[in-house]
Structures are given as structure tokens and as C-alpha cells.
Chains A and B, each alone.
Chain A
Amino acid sequence: MRLRHWAIILPLLCVFLVSCSPNSNDRPGGKHTITIAGSTSVMPFTEKLAEHFMVDHKNFIIDVQGGGSTAGIQAVINRTVDLGMSSRELKEGEKTLNTITICHDGIVVVVHPENPVTAMGLDQVRQIFSGRISNWGQLGWKNRKIDAVSREEGSGTRSAFEDLVMKGKEINDATMVQDSNGSVKEVVATDPYAIGYISMGLVDKKVKPVAIDGVSPSIKTIKSGRYKIVRPFLYITNGELDPKARQFVDYVLSKEGQTILKNEGLVGFYD
């Protein structure tokens, strides 16, 4: 009988305790919490930086959340977060905010490793995704339909791709859509006739990067400005930065932080 009572009371107690646990903002022990939210493209790198930062700065708690560039910027405007992350430039109406460029990221057009096509013009990429070119035969390979893969509406990578490559042309309705860089890469890695675009940091042996207008994507060509499909990764602040958050941003921009970003395949400020 008593056991049965406990079976009810224990879970309730657990729920009660969890709901009573202190809010992250007023955690005891003088810990500082920095909340960061925004682009899911920047998020994994910020998480990595935060991990390293918290090793040396034991009294900091850095809370990194996703939500997308637009949501992150909105949160900065409402001052619900300390820092916003964005993988696109600010639009009109957001220009009152301050941006800190933490690094650059190339968007790479990728195909299956067995695909003999190694180079394309930017206009050809545009025509593939707008549906004007739909057969690999038109690019000098087999007579086979091109399986183009794009990202979903609202994604930062997609909007950067639209700005830098499509330039006003619309992405064709028949294009497949995947909801992350990772799944685009998976589709391209398994389908020999696929073509997609992903963040340069994620390119590995499973997919083959395509040279655009004769320039193959690499940290070097991005730095020299020859590879054009590049977007900035930004931190967004509203007015003066809180000194605690400043410490984290300084760490990100320091040689140590930039090295971490470089090892992740991004283009930082040091060599």
C-alpha cells in the first residue's frame, strides 16, 4: 500500500523539484550567464567557442540557442538575448544594430564524387537551380536529369545563396528541398546525379566541390576575394555591449578563438 503511494508521490516530487530549480539568470555562486541566439549556421561554431571559453572562465555560463538569423536579430532588438547570431547582412530597419563580423563562410556547390563535372560558371549554377538547365548532358556529361537539392524557405544558407548566386531569379519549384546542410550533403553523397550547396566548413570526401568561374573554393581563394560565394558570420548587438559579453566576443576575435574557427573550416582573420 505504502509503495503504491510512493509511486504517485515520487514522480510528482520530481516534477516539483525540476520546476523549482533556479532560473539560469540568478544561479548562485556569482556565475555570469550570456545568452546567445540566432542563425543555426553559426550556432555549432558558437557552441564550440563557448565550450573552449568556459574551460578557462569557470564563472561563465554561455547559453547558445538556435532559431534562425531573423529570430536572433529580433531577440536582440527586444533585448531578450545578449548577443544575436546572423548568417546574413542586416536588412533595412535593422540597421540601428551593431554587427561584429567573426569570420566568413563560403557556400560551396557540391556534386557526387563520381561526377566528372569539376567546374561551372556562376550563370550555369543559376540556370540549374532556376530550371533552365535540367540535364547533365547540357554540361557535357551523361544524358540524365539533374537532381538539384536546395534548402528550405527561411534558411540563412538559402537566402545567402539566393542573394549571391540566384540574383533575383527564383529557385525552381521542382528542386528538392532538405532542411539542413547535413541532409543536403547526405543526398548529394548518395545520389550520383545530385547537385546541392552547403557551408564550406562541412565539405569532406563524401562530396566534391565544384569550381565556380574557374575558382575552386578554399580559404585562400576566399581571402583573396576571388571566390565570390561568401557570406559573413555576424554577432549582433544592440547598443553598447555588456562587459561580460564583451569578454566572450574578444575571445572569439582573439587568435585562439579564430584558430578554433579555422579548424572548423571557416575563414577567420589570422593565417
Chain B
Amino acid sequence: MIDRTVFKERFVKWVLVAFALSSLLFLFLIFVFILSEGLPLFHKIGVKNIIFGFKWAPTKGYFGIFPMIISSFLVTIGALIIGAPMGLSCAIYLSEYSGKKMKMFLKPALELLAGIPSVVFGFLGVIYIVPLVRNYLGGSGFSLISTSLVLGVMILPTIISISFDALVSVPKTYREGSAAMGATKWQTIYKVIIPSAKSGILASFILGMGRAIGETMAVIMIAGNALKIPGSILDPLRTLTGNIALELAYATGDHRLGLFSTGVVLMVIIMILNYVANFGIKRKIAK
């Protein structure tokens, strides 16, 4: 009987190990496939002509994605300008001011917000935000500002939950020390808590950026997908993710490889962002 129990324990352990490794395997496979499909075109067309090329006409042999790289960063920064102050304020309220009851209500609400599918955000954006922008600000409404607004809301849960964790993990003694010096609550938050949670808060912004830059469905629906670098916040734009999803259906040959190359660039950008964010979080733990 004991043998059987021991065997069972071991069996369960190995099954879990296999599943744990399988997620690593998937990551590895995705890497291999994207690189093996995307890199040949870099070789053929030239890295410079793809990354710094201004013209995208894959059926005619032009694969420049520079405008899309810029556009991706523009919407991401726009989303951050809108989402970061809101998210950080919410996190500060949750960790410093709100009572238990409020927290019990707000936290699940935020989780719900995180769970809303992006196509729903896109749909609401097309129905409400796009006409609003068109009527009151001008342009077609399919624009940098509409996309930034919607993405700003979409990255809220990421920013709030990670910066909340960072704020909560500031030791209680800091707060007590500050209060003992005669500081008010806001002075404590502003001068003590935020500076000591700084790296975690920055990490939350960077992960929010990662979320915004990878968002596809909502962006395709709202951004207008024009190839030009937007000249104003009312101009349409096309992001890297949008480019892949828009053209995938019909792409063959080099066109298809061009989309994979877009994927390679996107992957590198997201890897850098994640690396920077992890660096921030690690420093916090080391402290």
C-alpha cells in the first residue's frame, strides 16, 4: 500500500513537471517558427530596408515597416498618458485610503474590467468614441487619439494591480516613521511611499505598454489602419499588430514572410519591454 502511495506521489509530480515544461516548449516553438519564417526576408530585403523602410507594398516588393513601428509607439505612449495617471491614482487609493469594504468591491470590478474581451472594447470604440472624436475634434474619428483612449482604459487593470502590489509591499515602518515625523498622509504618500515603490510602479507602466503594443483587435477596429505616420492626433495610423492581422488572410509568398518579419520586430520590442520591467521588479525585491 505504501509503495502505491509513493508511486502515486511521484507520478503526480512528474506529470506536473511535464506540463510545466510544456509551457516552456510552446514558447520555444513560437520563437523557432516566427524566426524561421521571419528572418529569411530580412536576409533577402535587408534589415535596413525593412526596419527603416517607409513604404509598405508587399505585393510590389516594398516591405518598410518604419511608419508602423512609430505608430505602435505613438499609440502606446498615448495609452500611457491616459492610463498611467488614472491607474496610479486608483492604486494609491486602493492601498492607502480605501476601507476594506471598498476594496472588496473595487478589486473584483477591476478583475472584470481585465476580463472584457478586446473586441468589445473595439466595438464600443467604433460606436461611441470614433463618432465623438469626429463630431467634436474633426477628422474621420479613426485616429491616434481614439485608439489611445481605448487602449488607455484597456491597460488600467495591468497598471493598477502591479502598482498596487508595489505600494502595499512598502514596509509599514516607513509609514509609521513618516507619521512620527509629523508628516500628513499625502506627504507620506508623496515623499515616502511612492519613491520607495518607484521601481514597481515603473514596471507596471512598462507592462502596460507591453499590453498596449500587443493589442490587435480593438486597434484594427479604431485606428483606421492608414500606412502613413500620423501627422496629428486626429490622423489614422497602422500598428505592427494591426498590419499582421489585417493582411494575413490573403498573404502568400513574400507577402506572408513580410508579415512574419513584422512579427519578429514586434517580438523583439515586447522582449525588451518585458526585460526592462523585470529588471525593475527585481530591483524592488533586492531592496
Q: Which residues of A contact B (CB under 8 A)?
A: 40, 66-71, 74, 145, 147, 152-156, 159, 170, 173-179, 183, 186-187, 190-191, 193-194
**Contacts A154-B247, A179-B247 known; 15 new A-B pairs at CB < 8 A:** A67-B249, A67-B250, A152-B250, A153-B59, A153-B247, A153-B255, A154-B58, A154-B252, A176-B236, A177-B246, A183-B221, A186-B126, A187-B142, A190-B131, A191-B141
From the candidates B59, B131, B142, name the one contacting A154 in the complex (CB within 8 A). Answer: B59
From the candidates A145, A173, A179, A183, name the one contacting B249 in the complex (CB within 8 A). Answer: A179
**How far does the alpha carbon of A40 sit from the alpha carbon of B226 in the complex, in Å?**
22
A85 to chain B minimum Cβ distance, whole angstroms, is: 13
**How far does the alpha carbon of A193 sit from the alpha carbon of B131 in the complex, in Å?**
12
Q: Are B140 and A71 in contact (CB under 8 A)?
A: no
Q: Are B250 and A74 in contact (CB under 8 A)?
A: no
- Which chain B residues border A69 with CB–CB below 8 Å? 250
- Which chain A residues border B224 with CB–CB below 8 Å? 176-177
From the candidates A156, A176, A179, A183, name the one contacting B140 in the complex (CB within 8 A). Answer: A176
Q: Are A173 and B58 in contact (CB under 8 A)?
A: no
A193 to chain B minimum Cβ distance, whole angstroms, is: 7
Smallest CB gap from A144: residue in B: B138
Interface status of B199 (Cβ within 8 A of chain A): no
Number of A-B contacts (CB under 8 A): 86
From the candidates A74, A145, A154, A170, name the one contacting B251 in the complex (CB within 8 A). Answer: A154
- Which chain B residues border A175 with CB–CB below 8 Å? 226-227
- Which chain B residues border A190 with CB–CB below 8 Å? 126, 130-131
With contacts A174-B228, A190-B130 taken as known, whether A154 is within 8 angstroms of B250 at the C-beta atoms is yes
Q: Are A177 and B134 in contact (CB under 8 A)?
A: no
A155 to chain B minimum Cβ distance, whole angstroms, is: 6
Interface status of B262 (Cβ within 8 A of chain A): no
With contacts A70-B252, A152-B250 taken as known, whether A176 is within 8 angstroms of B225 at the C-beta atoms is yes
Closest 6 CB pairs of A and B: A154-B250, A68-B250, A147-B140, A177-B225, A173-B228, A176-B224
Q: What are 25 sample pairs from A and B whose C-beta atoms fall under 8 A apart?
A: A40-B249, A67-B249, A69-B250, A152-B225, A152-B250, A153-B56, A153-B57, A153-B250, A154-B247, A154-B249, A154-B251, A154-B255, A173-B226, A173-B227, A174-B228, A174-B235, A176-B140, A176-B142, A176-B236, A177-B226, A177-B227, A186-B126, A187-B142, A191-B134, A193-B140
**How far does the alpha carbon of A248 sit from the alpha carbon of B97 in the complex, in Å?**
71
A232 to chain B minimum Cβ distance, whole angstroms, is: 18
Contact with A along B126-142 (1 / 0, CB 8 A): 10001100100001111
- Which chain A residues border B57 with CB–CB below 8 Å? 153, 170
In B90-111, the 8 Å CB interface with A consists of none
- Which chain A residues border B228 with CB–CB below 8 Å? 173-174
- Which chain A residues border B41 with CB–CB below 8 Å? none
**How far does the alpha carbon of A70 sit from the alpha carbon of B134 in the complex, in Å?**
37
Smallest CB gap from B224: residue in A: A176
Smallest CB gap from B235: residue in A: A174
Smallest CB gap from B54: residue in A: A173
Q: Are A66 and B249 in contact (CB under 8 A)?
A: yes
- Which chain B residues border A177 with CB–CB below 8 Å? 224-227, 238, 246
- Which chain A residues border B252 with CB–CB below 8 Å? 68, 70-71, 74, 154
A133 to chain B minimum Cβ distance, whole angstroms, is: 16
Q: Are B140 and A191 in contact (CB under 8 A)?
A: yes
Query: Which of B55, B59, B130 lies at the interface centre, i.e. has the most chain A CB atoms within 10 A of its CB?
Result: B59
In B215-257, the 8 Å CB interface with A consists of 220-221, 224-228, 235-236, 238, 245-247, 249-252, 255
B36 to chain A minimum Cβ distance, whole angstroms, is: 21
- Which chain A residues border B247 with CB–CB below 8 Å? 152-154, 179
With contacts A173-B228, A177-B226, A177-B227 taken as known, whether A155 is within 8 angstroms of B250 at the C-beta atoms is yes
In B113-154, the 8 Å CB interface with A consists of 126, 130-131, 134, 139-142
Q: Are A176 and B226 in contact (CB under 8 A)?
A: yes
B270 to chain A minimum Cβ distance, whole angstroms, is: 23
Query: Which of A156, A175, A179, A194 lies at the interface centre, i.e. has the most chain B CB atoms within 10 A of its CB?
Result: A179
Smallest CB gap from B141: residue in A: A191
Q: Are B250 and A71 in contact (CB under 8 A)?
A: yes
Smallest CB gap from A156: residue in B: B250
**How far does the alpha carbon of A173 sit from the alpha carbon of B249 in the complex, in Å?**
21
A145 to chain B minimum Cβ distance, whole angstroms, is: 7
- Which chain B residues border A170 with CB–CB below 8 Å? 57
- Which chain B residues border A156 with CB–CB below 8 Å? 250
With contacts A68-B252, A173-B226 taken as known, whether A179 is within 8 angstroms of B220 at the C-beta atoms is yes
